[in-house]
C-alpha cells in the first residue's frame, strides 16, 4: 500500500515513466510465458498486416512480431543492464582509486579517460568491433569500456569531495587499507549520485546497442533484438508496411520512460523545483 | 590558455591515431587471415602482410603510417585495392554537404525556438516544446528517419526515400535528394540545442541585472535578447559545437538508412568486410573532425567571455 501511495504522489510524467518501465520489465522477466510463439519460429506469411491475426503482424520472413518484441525486450534489456553494470563497476572502481590515491595514479587514469572520451562512442565501438568481430562478450566489453569513462569522471569528482571528510581521515589514522576505505567509507556515500547517473547511462547504452544492432553489429540471430528488427523490416516501408516502426517505437518508448523516471528521481534527490 | 588547449588537442589526435593503428592490430590478431579466411594461400597472405607493413616492427609501422597519412597517402583498400584517399575523397564532400546543410537549418531553428521557449516559459508552447524535445533526445535516429520516410516518401510521396546522390547533379537536385536525411538530422540535433539554449537563458533570469532591467520597465523580449542572451552565449556556443561534432558522427546511421554515399556508409561497409585500412582511415577522419570541433568550441566560448579572454 505504501508503494501505491508513493506512486500517486508523483506527477503524471513520472507515473507514465514508471508504468512504461515496469511494463517492459515484466515483458523481459516473463518473456517465455507471455510470448505466444518462439523468437525465431516462422508462423505465417511475410508481412502479415498489423492488428490482424497477429497483433503486430509478421516480419520479413514470417516470424511473429509480438513474440520477437517480447523476447527482444528480454535480450536487449538484459544486455544493456549487464553492460551498464560493468561500466559502472569499472568506472566507479577506477574513479575511487584515482580520488583516494591521487598523485600519478590520478594523473595517468585521468589523461587516459580524457583521450578515450574524445573519440565519439559509435566510432570507437565500430573500430574495436571491426577488429574483434561481433561476439557478445566483445560487444559488452567495448560498450562497457566506452561508458566507464564518463562514470569515472563522476565517481572521481564525487569521491574527491568525500575523501577530504573527517571520517575518512579517521579511517586512515586507524590504519584501514585502501580497499576498505573505498568500500566502506566512499562507496556508501557516493551511492545516491551514482544511482541517478545509472538510469541516464542505461539509456545511452541502450541507444548505442540498438544503433549497433541496427547496423548489423549487435546481437546475431536467432536472438531477437529491436534494432535488427527495424533494419530487417526496413524494406517494407517502401511498400507501405509500417512494421519497422513498431520495434523502433519500442526503443523510443523505453528510453523516454527511463528518462521520465530519472528526471523525477534527480529532482527529488536534489530538491530542485522547476524553474519559475 | 589557448596554446595549452591546442597542444592538448594535437596530443589527443596523436593518441587516437596510436589507438586506431596499434590497438586495432593487437586486438584483431592477423588482419590478413581474418579477412581472407583460413583457406588463403601463403603467398597471398604474405603479399597482404607486406602491403600493410606488418613485417616492420611496431614503432616503424606507426611512424610510416603517420608519415603517409600526413601526406594524404592512405594506402589501398584490402578488398578492392583502390586507393583509400580517392575512396574517401569522393565521399567526404557528400558527408560534409549533408552535415553542413543540417547545421544550416538546425542551428538557427534551435536557437530561435530556445529563445521563444525561454520568453514564454511555462506556457503551453513551452511545455509542448519540452515534451517534443525530450522525446527527440531519447529516440533513436533511425526511428525519426523511418517515420519521416513513411510520411514524406511513402504517404505523401513528395520526397525521395533513397538519397543516391551523384557527382553530376546540380545544387538544387542535391538538396532535393538529400532533403530527408537533412530533415532527420535536424530533428535529432535541434532538440538538445534548443533545451540547452532555453536552460542557459532561464538560469540567468534570476540575476540582479535582469531584475534591474525588469524594474526599468523594459519589454520581456528585449530583456532576453539584449541582456540575457549575450551572457548565455558561452554555454550556447559549447552546446552548438558539441552538437555539430555529434552531427558529423550521427550521419553514420542516417547515411545507412537513406543509402547516402557518404563517409559513414563507407565505414560501415568496411567494418563488415573487415577492411582494416579503410576502417582506420575513416575512423581517423571522424575522430579528427570531432576533436577539432570540440577544440573550436572551447576557443570560441573563451573568446565570447571577456573574463576568460583576459585570464592568463
How high is the pLDDT of residue B71? 74
Model confidence at A134: pLDDT above 80: no
Please answer yes or no on whether B257 and A115 come within 8 Å at the CB atom: no
Give residue for cell 586507524: A174
d(CA B221, CA A10): 34
Cα B189 from Cα B196, distance rounded (Å): 12
Q: What is the pLDDT of residues A175-195, one digit of tens each?
A: 888 888 888 888 888 887 888
Domain that holds residue B153: 94-311
Give me the residues of chain B with pLDDT under 50, please: 312
Smallest CA–CA separation between B259 and chain A, in Å?
12
* 3-state SS, one letter per residue, for chain A: CHHHHHHHCCCHHHHHHHHHHHHHHHHHHCHHHHCCCCCCCECCCCCCCCCCCCCCCECCCCEEHHHHHHHHHHHHHHHHHHHHHHHHHHHHHHHHHHHHHCHHHHHHHHHHHHHHHCCCHHHHHHHHHHHHCCCHHHHHHHHHHHHHHHHHHHHHHHHHHHHCCHHHHHHHHHCCCHHHHHHHHHHHHHHHHHHHHHHHHHHHHHHHHHHHHHCCCCCCCCCCCHHHHHHHHHHHHHHCCCCCHHHHHHHHHHHHHHHHHHHHHHHHHHCCCCCC
CA atoms within 13 A on the CB side of B243: 28
Does some domain include residue B120?
yes
Report the gap between the CA of B287 and the closest CA in chain A (Å): 6
Residue in chain A closest to B132 (alpha carbons) equals A256
Backbone phi and psi for residue B292, each to the nearest 5 degrees, phi listed first: -65, -40
Residue A97 lies in a domain: yes
Residue A218 near residue A139 (C-beta atoms within 8 A): yes
Look at phi and psi of residue A145 and say left if phi exceeds 0, alpha if psi is from -120 to 50, else beta: alpha
The closest alpha carbon to A259, from B56, B130, B293, B305, belongs to B130
Q: Please, how many CA atoms are within 13 Å of residue A251, restricted to the half-sphere of its CB?
A: 33
Per-residue pLDDT tens digits for A54-103? 767 777 777 777 888 888 888 889 999 999 999 999 999 999 989 888 88
The pTM (predicted TM-score) of the whole model is 0.85
Tell me how far CA of residue A22 lies from CA of A55, B64, B268, in angstroms.
Answer: 21, 55, 35
Among B141, B181, B153, CA closest to A239: B153
Q: Which of A118, A214, A256 sits opposite B12 (nearest CB)?
A: A118
- Tell me which residues of chain B, numbers 201 to 260, contact chain A at a CB-CB cutoff of 8 Å: 202-203, 245-246, 249, 252-253, 256-257
Compute the Cα dihedral for A100, A102, A105, A108 and give only its sign. Answer: positive
- What integer pLDDT is reported at residue B31 of this predicted model? 64
Q: How far apart are CA A144 and CA A121, in angstroms?
A: 11
Let me know if residue B17 belongs to a domain: no
Burial group, residue B27, by CB count within 10 angstroms (0-12, 13-18, 19+): middle
A5 located within any domain: no
pLDDT at position A61: 73
Q: Give the nearest partner residue to A237 out of B19, B149, B280, using CB atoms.
A: B149
CATH number for the domain harbouring residue A166: 1.10.3720.10
Instruction: Give the up-direction half-sphere exposure of residue B8: CA atoms within 13 A in the CB hemisphere.
Output: 15
What percentage of chain A reaches a pLDDT higher than 70? 92
Residue contact A127–B20, C-beta within 8 A: yes
Q: Which domain holds residue A263?
A: 13-270
Residue B65 covered by a domain:
no
Phi then psi for residue A63, to 5 deg, are -90, 155
Distance of CA A105 to the CA centre of its chain: 29
Q: How many CA atoms lie within 13 A of B129 on its CB side?
A: 28
In a domain, B31, yes or no: no
Identify the CA nearest to A216 among candidates B268, B37, B164, B280: B268
Burial of A120 (0-12, 13-18, 19+ CB in 10 A): buried
Specify if B51 maps to a domain. no
Query: Is residue A4 one of the residues assigned to a domain?
Result: no
Instruction: Check whether A272 has a pLDDT greater than 50.
Output: no
Measured between beta carbons, the chain B residues lying within 8 angstroms of A234 are 146, 257
**Predicted complex ipTM exceeds 0.90:** no
Q: Does residue B197 form part of some domain?
A: yes
> B30 vs A156, which has greater pLDDT?
A156
| Residue B187 grid coordinates | 530533428
Query: Which residue in B134, B153, B253 is closest to A211 by CB distance?
Result: B253
In a domain, A142, yes or no: yes
pLDDT computed for residue A274 by the predictor: 42
User: Could you give the dihedral angle defined by the CA atoms of residues A156, A162, A165 and A168, in that order, rounded to the nearest 10 degrees?
Assistant: -80
Rounded Cα–Cα distance for residues A263 and A45 (Å):
43
Chain B residues in contact with A255 by the CB 8 A cut-off are 138-140
Q: Do B24 and A130 touch (CB under 8 A)?
A: yes
Question: Alpha carbon of A23 to those of A29, A74, A84: distances in Å?
Answer: 10, 12, 20
Contacts of A258 in chain B (CB under 8 A): 138
Domain count, chain A: 1
Q: What is the DSSP letter of B226?
A: I
Name the domain count of chain B. Answer: 1
- Could you tell me which residues are beta bridge partners of residue A42? A63
pLDDT at res. B36: 66
What is the sign, positive or negative, of the torsion defined by CA atoms of B146, B152, B158, B159? Answer: negative
Rounded mean pLDDT of A98-120?
85
Tell me if the bond preceding B112 is cis, omega within 30° of 0. no
Q: What is the CATH number of the domain that holds B180?
A: 1.10.3720.10
Amino acid at each position: 500500500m505504501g508503494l501505491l501511495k508513493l506512486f500517486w504522489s508523483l506527477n503524471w510524467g513520472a507515473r507514465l515513466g514508471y508504468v512504461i518501465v515496469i511494463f517492459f520489465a515484466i515483458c523481459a522477466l516473463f518473456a517465455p510465458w507471455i510470448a505466444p510463439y518462439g523468437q525465431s519460429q516462422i508462423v505465417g506469411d511475410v508481412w502479415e498486416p498489423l492488428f490482424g491475426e497477429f497483433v503486430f503482424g509478421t516480419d520479413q520472413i514470417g516470424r511473429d512480431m509480438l513474440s520477437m518484441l517480447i523476447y527482444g525486450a528480454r535480450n536487449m534489456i538484459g544486455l544493456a543492464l549487464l553492460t551498464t553494470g560493468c561500466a559502472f563497476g569499472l568506472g566507479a572502481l577506477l574513479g575511487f582509486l584515482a580520488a583516494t590515491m591521487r598523485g600519478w595514479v590520478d594523473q595517468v587514469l585521468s589523461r587516459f579517460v580524457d583521450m578515450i572520451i574524445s573519440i565519439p562512442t559509435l566510432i570507437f565501438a565500430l573500430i574495436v568491433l571491426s577488429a574483434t568481430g561481433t561476439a557478445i562478450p566483445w560487444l559488452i566489453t567495448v560498450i562497457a569500456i566506452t561508458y566507464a569513462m564518463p562514470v569515472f569522471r563522476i565517481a572521481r569528482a564525487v569521491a574527491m569531495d568525500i575523501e577530504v571528510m573527517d571520517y575518512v581521515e579517521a579511517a586512515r589514522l586507524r590504519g584501514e587499507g585502501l580497499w576498505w576505505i573505498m568500500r566502506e567509507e566512499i562507496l556508501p556515500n557516493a551511492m545516491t549520485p551514482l544511482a541517478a547517473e545509472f538510469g541516464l547511462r542505461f539509456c545511452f547504452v541502450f541507444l548505442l546497442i540498438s544503433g549497433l544492432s541496427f547496423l548489423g553489429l549487435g546481437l546475431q540471430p536467432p536472438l531477437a533484438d529491436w534494432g535488427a528488427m527495424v533494419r530487417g523490416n526496413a524494406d517494407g516501408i517502401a511498400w507501405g508496411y509500417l512494421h519497422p516502426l513498431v520495434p523502433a517505437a519500442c526503443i523510443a518508448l523505453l528510453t523516454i520512460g527511463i528518462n521520465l523516471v530519472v528526471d523525477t528521481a534527480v529532482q527529488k534527490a536534489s530538491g530542485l523545483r522547476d524553474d519559475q | 590558455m589557448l596554446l595549452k588547449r591546442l597542444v592538448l588537442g594535437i596530443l589527443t589526435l596523436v593518441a587516437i591515431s596510436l589507438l586506431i593503428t596499434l590497438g586495432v592490430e593487437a586486438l584483431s590478431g592477423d588482419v590478413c587471415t581474418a579477412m581472407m579466411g583460413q583457406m588463403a594461400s601463403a603467398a597471398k597472405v604474405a603479399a597482404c602482410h607486406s602491403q600493410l607493413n606488418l613485417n616492420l616492427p611496431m614503432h616503424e609501422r606507426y611512424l610510416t603510417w603517420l608519415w603517409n597519412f600526413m601526406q594524404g597517402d592512405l594506402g589501398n583498400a584490402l578488398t578492392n585495392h583502390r586507393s583509400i584517399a580517392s575512396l574517401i575523397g569522393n565521399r567526404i564532400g557528400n558527408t560534409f554537404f549533408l552535415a553542413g546543410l543540417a547545421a544550416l537549418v538546425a542551428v538557427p531553428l534551435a536557437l530561435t525556438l530556445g529563445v521563444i521557449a525561454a520568453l514564454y516559459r511555462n506556457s503551453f508552447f513551452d511545455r509542448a516544446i519540452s515534451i517534443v524535445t525530450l522525446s527527440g533526445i531519447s529516440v533513436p535516429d533511425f526511428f525519426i528517419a523511418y517515420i519521416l520516410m513513411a510520411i514524406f516518401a511513402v504517404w505523401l510521396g513528395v520526397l525521395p526515400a533513397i538519397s543516391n546522390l551523384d557527382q553530376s547533379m546540380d545544387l538544387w537536385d542535391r538538396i532535393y535528394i538529400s532533403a530527408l536525411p537533412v530533415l532527420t538530422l535536424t530533428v535529432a540535433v535541434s532538440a538538445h540545442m534548443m533545451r540547452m539554449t532555453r536552460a542557459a537563458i532561464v538560469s540567468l533570469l534570476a540575476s540582479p541585472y535582469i531584475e534591474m532591467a525588469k524594474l526599468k520597465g523594459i519589454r520581456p523580449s528585449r530583456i532576453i535578447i539584449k541582456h540575457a542572451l549575450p551572457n548565455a552565449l558561452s554555454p550556447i556556443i559549447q552546446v552548438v559545437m558539441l552538437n555539430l561534432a555529434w552531427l558529423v558522427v550521427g550521419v553514420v546511421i542516417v547515411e545507412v538508412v537513406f543509402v547516402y554515399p557518404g563517409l559513414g556508409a563507407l565505414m560501415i561497409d568496411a567494418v563488415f568486410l573487415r577492411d582494416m585500412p579503410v576502417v582506420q582511415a575513416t575512423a581517423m577522419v571522424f575522430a579528427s573532425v570531432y576533436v577539432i570541433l570540440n577544440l573550436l568550441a572551447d576557443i570560441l566560448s573563451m573568446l565570447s567571455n571577456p573574463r576568460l579572454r583576459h585570464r592568463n
